[in-house]
Amino acid sequence: MSAPVAPADALRTGWAALRAFFSEGTPALERAREALAAAEPAVRASGDPAQLVLWLLATATALQYTRRPEPMEAGLARARELVNLVARTQGETASVAYRPRMEAIARDLADVVPAEAARHVAEGLAYSERTVRLARLATRDDYLAPALASQGDLLVRLPGADRRVRRRAVTLHAEARRRWPPRDAEGRAQAALGGAAALLAAGEPAKAEPLLRDALAVFERFGDRYHRAAAHLLLARVLLALDRAEALDAQAEAVALFRALDCRWELARAEEALA
């Protein structure tokens, strides 16, 4: 009989597959979900809060990227459990680093289930208000920058958002970019997608274009094909707003990348982006 797999080993397998998703696509995401599901009994039985934090974060993230409502709702529950666990074992200030994951899942649920967008955005914003307050009290830019960007992302998706709300989203993202730690180039590039979306929604596509081109260079350097595709898709919308013919090339690049990654929900959005 083979020896049981240690929780740390199982977690490493799950995390490795989750990281691979951004370059390899859906097959890697499925491997991550399977490894993390298999690891859960041992992780919970270990009684080690550090292992459980890592498992909850990976599981919530993997479920988020399924782009299917039921698993995403399960991911939302895992993200809440994660925040509560960290607050209980490390203090509420430490939990601020994990709160934007829950907000990101609510944000993405608003995209995946448009009929329930108002509910998901409202829940995310209510959570975000406290995240930003806690992050400002902590006086740590590595907490505050993601918190501000997360709130901006939610405001862009607020149904019926007026010009004031859209400008608020732009302002939040601008502050997030100023505060983002230089060592986290990839995180800053991912947040730039939200900043560009906010600028586009506010009627400033010309300001969004350089953000996206800078982000694309970062994703290329890190081999992140998933976010490269997302950046090309948003760039297509920006270029269309600027009446530039290159919009079709950017859309084609997004379609090709999402197809290669087998990200079907994203692919459908990319194919319809300029319709």
Mean pLDDT of 95-114: 98
Q: Whole-model pTM?
A: 0.94
Using alpha carbons, select from 165, 94, 173, 157 the residue that is nearest to residue 131. Answer: 94
Cβ-count burial 206-236 (b if 16+ within 10 Å, e if not): ebbbebbeebbebbeeeebbbbbbbbbbbbb
Quote the DSSP letter at residue 6.
P
User: What's the Cα-to-Cα distance from 107 to each of 47, 110, 178, rounded to whole Å?
Assistant: 32, 5, 23
Number of residues that make up the chain: 275
Average pLDDT taken over every residue of the chain: 96
| Per-residue pLDDT at 1 | 39
Residue 183 burial by CB count (10 A; 0-12/13-18/19+): exposed, middle or buried? exposed
| Per-residue pLDDT at 9 | 84
Tens digit of each residue's pLDDT (9 = 90 or more) over 236-256: 999 999 999 999 999 999 999
User: What's the Cα-to-Cα distance from 1 to each of 4, 29, 43, 198, rounded to whole Å?
Assistant: 9, 29, 21, 56
**Domain ranges for the chain:** 7-95, 209-275
User: What's the Cα-to-Cα distance from 248 to each of 209, 220, 226, 258, rounded to whole Å?
Assistant: 15, 20, 19, 15
Tens digit of each residue's pLDDT (9 = 90 or more) over 146-174: 999 999 999 999 999 999 999 999 999 99
Confidence band, pLDDT 50/70/90 cuts, at residue 29: very high
